Each structure stands twice: as structure tokens, then as C-alpha cells.
Amino acid sequence: MNRSLIVGLACACVLAFVQDNVQAQRNCGTPILLDRLKREQPADYARLQAEKKQLLETTKQAAQSGAQMKTTAQHPIPVVFHFLITEDEYNYLGQNEGIIRRVRSQIKQLNADFSGTNADKYKIPPAFLPVFGNANIQFGLASATSSATISNGIEVKILSAPAVYDVNYDCYTAKENTAVGFPAWDPSKYLNIWVARITSGMSGTILGITTPPSFLGHNVGTMSNPHYITEQDFGIVLNYGAIGVREFPGQSFITNIDKGRTLTHEMGHYFELSHTWGDDGGLCPTNGGQDDDIADTPPEAGSQFGSPSYPVYDACTKSTSGTSIMFMNFMDYVDDGSMQMFTKDQVSRMQAFIQPGYESYSLTQNPGLTLGVHQPVAESSVTLSPNPASSKILLSLTGSNHFLSADVVNLLGQSVAKVPANGTQSISIDLSDMPKGIYLVKCQFTEGTLTRKFVLQ
């Protein structure tokens, strides 16, 4: 296995290894990784910092002029998920059906968070409502398939032995090693997300790692064993225990990481957002700290954990205006249930990177590559025939949407037949063993469900 030193990532969020229902604390390895890069490759570290500063200055000027906000409607960005898991991890996720459900719930939450429509935004304190931002960036599950897809845009590889992708050494094997990895789909058209078990040596489990386009050409290996970032490295590596939103008690997640906010956080890094405290060693803007270079996030000395109660103060807020820390920001480290917002200035920065001439613009220009999760499924688009039926029914779907599954239930609400569809536009269901009567068939799509009634005679 390739042991490349991955030290230049935008984020490596660390969580001590825990089982479900055990209290956990989210941490991040970014300062450690960047400090290591600074020690081992000071010239490349300096070049990276200079390029990043210039990039952010350019987008800041664009934000001030309002140029990036001229395009208000964005096509959804096609997203593909590459799962690299063992048989036990596959079962942990609920096998194919469970994986599809988790991806579906994850896309839904991602879109809510990036459109300012998340159901829990009511928790945002009144003091921060004036800077609550709508990023107007949307995501859609890729419509394409491969030899390993279990549904459109979702690849699964079952590993014969546990593969631990260590952020310090070999996380890029998730992208490059043919035995335990998946190559990226065209990064100019798709945003690639690898789902695997990630660690950081003795520090424990990693929640997510992001390689944004700004790292292009930089060596995140060592001088003797270099790994220069190419377009094929762009994307996010996400822990398999942190994907999706809990929909029922029996699902397994890392404790308190069950509302899909890890990917929201990592996606913020992909669009060049920093942590709200700036990873500057506890400093404040008044004593040499860099903070996050975002004007409408209050200064913060360090990350917040768990589920804080508003307001929260630290050395930075007490030494300036006394404003509470914005711990509910998606770029802090609180539990999933305590994150609710991006700010308007964070939105301006992210919006800048999807405008013509900037690094992620091409991702927004391929609406035909998504499953149409941005388009509601019309009642008239689903047909069921024949009705009444005698031995089978055929469900057909028009438009750009696709079935995920169909569940036939009787009038007592009991499921009597469930058929996975794996992204097709038609489903045939055998009813020959069922008693005559009235039934409902619940059609599951990436963005929701529709129900049809039929008679079996």
C-alpha cells in the first residue's frame, strides 16, 4: 500500500474511536498537518500560503463588488459517492438499501444547509440572524453508472480485509490504489466523495478530509516520496460512520454525528472556507491571530465542542465586543445537532468559486449528469398499470427522475413486497402470491416518495 504523507489537506477532522451511544468529541488535525508541512517542506508551505492569500484576496474583491452574486440560479453540482468498506461495514450501513437511503438523506441535508432552508435554523440566536446566509449552491446525485454501482452515482467495493486510510500516510490509496480504491470520475464534471474508514495514527478516527482545487500542484508527500496534487485528487474522503442523516433508531452512526453535517462542513472546505477560529493556535486578531478572514464571523480563540448553550465567550470575544462565539456555524466543531448556519460573507466566498473563471465553475455546468433531485416528482409522472391487476403491476416514470425502490403495503400498513430499483425508470412487481384486495405501493425517489393505490383481483 502506498504510504504517501498527506499533509496538505484543507481539513482532517479527528474523532476518538467510539461505539454508538458513547459521548464523543470532534477535533481536527489541520494545524498538525500544516505544521508538519511547514517543518518538512517550508518552501512549498510558503508557496501554498502565498497562493491561498492571493486567491482569497481576489475573491474578497469580487465579493465586495457583488460580481459573484449576479448569477443567482445555479445548476446542481453532480456528486458521486465511492464506498470502500468491509463486509462488516457494509452491514453496519444497512447493505445496498441502507447505503442508498443514507446517500439520499445526505444529499437532501446538504441541499437544505446550502440553501438556508435547514429545518433547525430556528435555533440560530437572534443576534446572528442578520448575517444568516443562503449559499444558493445545490447538489444532485450523479446519474451515471459503472461496473461497481449499486445505484446511479453510488459505487461500492467490498474489501476482503479492513483497510484503514491513515491521513498521515496513505489516504490517497482510497483514490488511486486499484485493490482498495476507486479512481475519481471526471473532476471537471463530478464532485467526488470517497466513503471509507479514516484514522490519524494514535489520534483515532477521522471524520472527513478535503482536498480543494487550491492545492493543485502542491506536494503533500515528502521530498523523498512526493505526492503532487492533481485534479484526480480533488474531493472529499468521508468516514463511513458519518454519512447521512439518522431516519430511524436502528441505524448506526458515530455518536452525535448523525445529521449529515460532516459533509456540510467538508463541503465548506472544498469551497475554500476555513474553520471559524482560523487554526492559529488560540490567538485573536488583536494579538497576531489570523482568524478565518471572514468579516461577519466573530473572532474566536479555538474550536467549540459538544452542544454548547448560547452565549459562549472566550479570550477573543471578551477582548473585543463581547459578542458570543458563533459556535453554531457549520465551520466550527460542535455536534451535528448544534450546527445551523453559514454567514453572508462565507456565502460570498463560496459563491465566488462557482463563477466563470474560478476553480469550481465547471461543476455547475452539467445539469444533465444529475438524477434531477432538484426537480420535484410530479404526481402525473408516475403511472401504474394495469389497475385492477391480476398477477403483476408495472410502474413507469417519465422525466429525469429515477426510482430507488417500491414498497407494496396492505391496508394494515404491512409491507408485503419490496423491490429495489437502483435508479431505473420502470419497476415490475410480481403479485401472484398475494391475496386479492386493495394495496398501496410507495415509490421511493432520491428526493421523496409518492404513493399509488391499486386493486388486485
- pTM equals 0.79
Question: d(Cα 110, Cα 237) in Å, to the nearest integer?
Answer: 16
pLDDT digits (tens, 9 = 90+) for 219-250: 776 677 777 888 988 999 898 999 999 998 88
What residue ranges do the domains of the chain occupy?
Answer: 11-369, 379-456
Per-residue pLDDT of the chain (457 residues), as tens digits, is 332 323 334 445 544 333 343 334 565 545 555 666 777 778 887 887 788 778 777 766 665 555 445 444 467 899 999 999 999 999 999 999 899 999 999 999 999 999 999 999 999 999 999 999 999 999 999 999 999 999 999 999 999 887 767 665 555 667 766 677 899 999 999 999 999 888 766 556 778 888 889 888 877 766 777 778 889 889 998 989 999 999 988 899 999 999 999 999 999 999 999 999 988 878 888 888 888 889 999 999 989 999 999 999 998 887 556 689 999 999 999 999 999 999 999 999 999 889 888 889 999 988 878 875 445 566 777 889 999 999 999 998 876 567 777 889 888 778 888 887 666 788 899 999 899 999 989 887 755 678 888 999 9
Please report the sign of the dihedral spanned by the C-alpha atoms of residue 173, residue 177, residue 178, residue 180.
Answer: negative
Strand bridging mode 191-199 / 164-166? parallel
In sequence order, what are the residues at sequence separation of 6 or more whose Cβ sits closer than 8 angstroms to the Cβ of residue 228? 217, 218, 219, 220, 221
**Burial of residue 322 (number of CB atoms within 10 Å: 0-12, 13-18, 19+):** exposed
Alpha-carbon distance of 296 to 51, in angstroms, equals: 23
* CATH label, 379-456, candidates 3.40.718.10, 1.10.260.40, 2.40.50.140, 2.60.40.1930: 2.60.40.1930
Other residues' Cβ atoms within 10 Å of the Cβ of residue 338: 23
Q: Are 138 and 173 in contact (CB under 8 A)?
A: no
11-369: what CATH class? alpha beta
